[in-house]
């Protein structure tokens, strides 16, 4: 147990918002995106993380949070919506890592979030999104127009270490 007031001793460098995404035909992306929670310290992060079904469950069973069937998660800095039209995103882009990660997707997602919220990725990174499909997983790292070539290379090195021996492809998309 964490003593009362202890969370304030471990603030994160930014406040983050965790979203769920569902796919409902006839509804917009924005309508299918729901805020799951907000966290600004490490204790609140782990509390939320430990109570959310892992992404590997998307393939093996129906994951519902509230009354929404979930097929993706996003974690974005507070004040930035997980959509291309957001002012922070629309002139930036995303690096997309796609592979059949299997159950290793849970480890990759966990380490990705830990690096993101501790400030281990470039400041130009707005957030991350994980989409779990039947045949593959897709991890997207969204960034602003301020991402430098050195930042981009660092993200690519980071993902190579994260994915270890997994096979994956890399794509990049401008928003």
pLDDT of 146 reads 96
Structure tokens at 45: 């992060």
- Joined together, the tokens standing for residue 76 give 């974005």
Q: Quick one: average pLDDT of 118-138?
A: 92
Cα separation of 67 and 73, whole Å? 16
CA distances from 112 to 66, 72, 107 (A): 25, 15, 8
- Confidence grade of residue 6 (pLDDT, cut at 50, 70, 90): low
What SS3 state is found at 152?
A: helix
Which secondary structure element, helix H or strand E, spans residue 60, and what is its range?
A: helix 57-60
Percent with pLDDT over 70 in the chain:
91
Residues 14-59: tens digit of each pLDDT: 999 999 998 777 888 898 899 999 999 999 999 999 999 899 888 7
Predicted confidence band at 142 (pLDDT cuts at 50, 70, 90)? Answer: very high
Mean pLDDT of the chain: 90
Distance from C-alpha of 57 to C-alpha of 49, rounded to nearest angstrom: 14
Contact 163, 141 (CB under 8 A): no
Q: Mean pLDDT across the stretch 70-92?
A: 95
pLDDT for 89-111, tens place per residue?
999 999 999 999 887 999 999 99
**What is the SS3 assignment for 12?**
strand
Decide if pLDDT at 7 tops 60: no
- The mean pLDDT of 120-145, rounded to a whole number, is 94
What are residue 97's DSSP bridge partners? 139, 170
pLDDT at 8 exceeding the cut of 70: no
Using the predicted structure, report yes or no on whether residue 1 has a pLDDT greater than 80: no
Q: Which residues pair with 19 in a beta bridge?
A: 35, 74
Q: Residue 48, class by beta-carbon neighbours within 10 Å (0-12 exposed, 13-18 middle, 19+ buried)?
A: middle
């Amino acid at each position: 147990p964490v003593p009362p007031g202890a969370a304030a001793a471990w603030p994160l460098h930014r406040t983050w918002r965790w979203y769920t995404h569902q796919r409902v035909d006839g509804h917009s992306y924005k309508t299918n995106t729901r805020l799951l929670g907000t966290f600004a310290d490490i204790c609140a992060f782990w509390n939320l993380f430990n109570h959310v079904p892992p992404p590997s469950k998307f393939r093996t069973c129906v994951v519902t949070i509230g009354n929404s069937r979930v097929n993706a998660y996003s974690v974005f800095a507070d004040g930035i919506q997980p959509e291309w039209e957001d002012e922070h995103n629309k002139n930036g882009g995303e690096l997309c890592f796609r592979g059949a990660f299997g159950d290793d997707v849970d480890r990759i997602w966990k380490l990705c979030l830990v690096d993101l919220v501790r400030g281990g990725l470039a400041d130009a990174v707005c957030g991350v999104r994980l989409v779990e499909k039947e045949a593959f997983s897709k991890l997207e790292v969204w960034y602003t127009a301020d991402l430098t070539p050195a930042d981009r290379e660092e993200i690519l090195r980071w993902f190579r270490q994260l994915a270890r021996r997994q096979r994956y492809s890399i794509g990049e998309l401008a928003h």
